[in-house]
Structure 1
Amino acid sequence: MSDDSYEPPKVWTWDKENGGAFASTNRPIAGPTHDRELPVGEHPFQLYSLATPNGVKVNVMFEELLEAGHDAEYDAWLIEIGEGDQFGSGFVEINPNSKIPAMVDRSGPEPVRVFESGSILMHLAEKFGAFLPRSGAARTEVINWLMWQMGSAPYLGGGFGHFYQYAPEKYEYPINRFAMETKRQLDVLNRELAHKDWIAGDAYSIADMAIWPWYGNLTLGRAYGDAATFLSVHEYENVMEWARRIDARPAVQRGRMVNRTFGEPEEQLHERHSAEDFDTKTQDKIGSGD
């Protein structure tokens, strides 16, 4: 079906009632809508997020750092974007773009705000000397793929995912346009992973952590309803093998749970303030009174 009836006006105006599933989270202006201070926990790193793909990237990085023995304890506070938490004054002060995740690094003499998931990954990788080579071609290759993800995923999420799953009406042209681009991106990954274990080379890196929540979860059938069938993800065998290997990592399994408010209760840990929270404060345990 095509939309032959729409003629763009000479000057665009905002229709608050025509935003689809995420109408409450989108608006054409920046800045806070209300005053709200953010909570601060006891750990050096304060993360304010939700378990969207971009949020999961950072959760996984923290859990991988801890798994590797680094002193990277963090407090993860839930930002309910459907409720407009990202437009509170405290959050906007950390991220003027009002998108999750955002973080404050309080480990130094002065707090440092860090926003954009790729920037947070690089900040943590450089701080701990982990999951990012320090110099040379290997470092550049990791950054190449991190930047690829940052530039490509909007076509998957805001393009294909939106029009295929979330738009209030289905239109053939945008679905076909973004399905084609998503399949091209999967083919890019599939060709690269034909001759190496990890996307940037021999070592697991922040590039894998960035790409996996988007394209790994897509191939594992966890994104946008039945999109995996629609896109014939079984064709991308190398991506699927890579996705399963990352999915099996304990730190990734924990990272998927942090700030998660959907799915099965045992997969949800709304806030994380210590490693013990995974054993005592997931939503199934809270719901059962354990």
Structure 2
Amino acid sequence: MPDLSAFPITKRWPATHPDRLQLYSLPTPNGVKVSIMLEETGLPYEPHTIDIGASETWTPEFLSLNPNGKIPAIIDPDGPGGQPLVLFESGAILLYLAEKTGKLLPTDPARRYETIQWVFFQMAAVGPMFGQLGYFHKFAGREIEDKRPQERYRAESQRLLGVLEGRLAGRTWIMGDDYTIADIALLGWVRNLIGFYGAGDLVAYSELTHVPAWLERGLARPAVQRGLTIPARP
């Protein structure tokens, strides 16, 4: 049985099953990428709820795992060479789990890098822009008199949806017939933009055809449905 006692985070969030991958997360657009991936691959794991509303990511225990203080993060007791591996950043975790399991990432080198570029597209553009629009539209940003920041993020989010709309024309998934980590990376963010953030009208979501159909297909997957609720919210 692996011994995870050397990791301070396990003092605050003890591992009941230390032989399983430990997931420290919350069902946010970034957090669900990893829970969906784990559900899709069937890799045994143990989820731990990190209450970001209670600033638990800024505790010494969590910061020992991710000094950037963000979810998700993992400990894989069976990492490379059989040694425990700590990893944060959802995109990096997706790539790691895909390579570890041999699933949801093409083996052909050209298609592999094409998939990775769409994961990076989400990390570099979709996540930051959608998140900022959500802040200005739903949260404290609405109190800011100057509306230029919100308009900037609205326009850019709408443009990014247009990029996705063009990519999905004639394709079932981002990579065509193959459902991959690119889809997993993007599904939660598009869902959040029109759902939790309530910004569908702002970005003219109803005028799109391919993105809504893709989102519906993705949300119909049983592993996605399960992953969207893991870990349980506090």
Shared fold (TM-score, shorter chain, > 0.5): yes
- Give, in angstroms, the shift of residue 260 of structure 1: 4.0
Aligned to 1:85: 56
Rounded to whole Å, the distance in 2 between the matches of 1:228 and 1:259 is 26
Aligned to 2:3: none
Rounded to whole Å, the distance in 2 between the matches of 1:39 and 1:85 is 15
Structure 1's consecutive aligned runs of 4 or more residues displaced over 4 angstroms after TM superposition are: none
What whole-Å deviation, never above 9, does each CA across 1:258-277 have from its counterpart, x for those lacking one? 1242xxxxxxxx6xxxxxxx
Stretches of structure 2 that go unaligned for 5 or more consecutive residues are: 1-10
| Conserved 8 A contact 1:216-1:240 | no
1:49 to 6, 15, 25: 25
Aligned to 1:18: none
2:226 matches 1:251: no
2:86 matches 1:113: yes
Q: Percent identity?
A: 42
TM normalised by structure 1 equals 0.72
- Give, in angstroms, the shift of residue 38 of structure 1: 3.2
Rounded to whole Å, the distance in 2 between the matches of 1:198 and 1:98 is 32
Residues 6-45 of structure 1 mapped to structure 2, 5 A cutoff = 37-42=12-17, 43-45=19-21
- Give, in angstroms, the shift of residue 80 of structure 1: 0.4
TM normalised by structure 2 equals 0.89
Stretches of structure 1 that go unaligned for 5 or more consecutive residues are: 1-35, 67-71, 262-269, 271-290
Other structure's SS at 1:77 match = strand
Rounded to whole Å, the distance in 2 between the matches of 1:191 and 1:217 is 20
- Give, in angstroms, the shift of residue 37 of structure 1: 3.4
The change in CA–CA distance for 1:260 and 1:184 in structure 2 (over 3 A counts) is farther
| Conserved 8 A contact 1:103-1:114 | yes
With a CA cutoff of 8 Å and minimum separation of 6, indicate the structure with the bigger relative contact order: 2
Q: How many residues align?
A: 220
Other structure's SS at 1:229 match = coil
Other structure's SS at 1:100 match = coil
Rounded to whole Å, the distance in 2 between the matches of 1:79 and 1:250 is 24
